[in-house]
Structure 1
Amino acid sequence: GTTDDAGNLVLEEDFVWSDGEISRRVWTIARTNQHTYEGQAADVVGQAGGLAFGNALNWSYDLQLEIDGSQWIIHFDDWMFLQPDGVLLNRAEMSKFGIRVGDVTISFSKKF
Structure 2
Amino acid sequence: MTIKRLSLGRAGEDQAAQYLKDMGYIIVERNYRCRLGEIDIVARDGPVMVFVEVRTRSGSGFGTALESVVYKKQLKVRQVASQYLQHRECFGGPVRFDVLALTLVPGSAAEVEHVKNAF
Instruction: With the length of structure 2 as denominator, give the TM-score of the two structures.
Output: 0.34
Determine which structure has the larger strand proportion and give its number: 1
Higher relative contact order, chain-length normalized (CA < 8 Å, sep 6+): 2
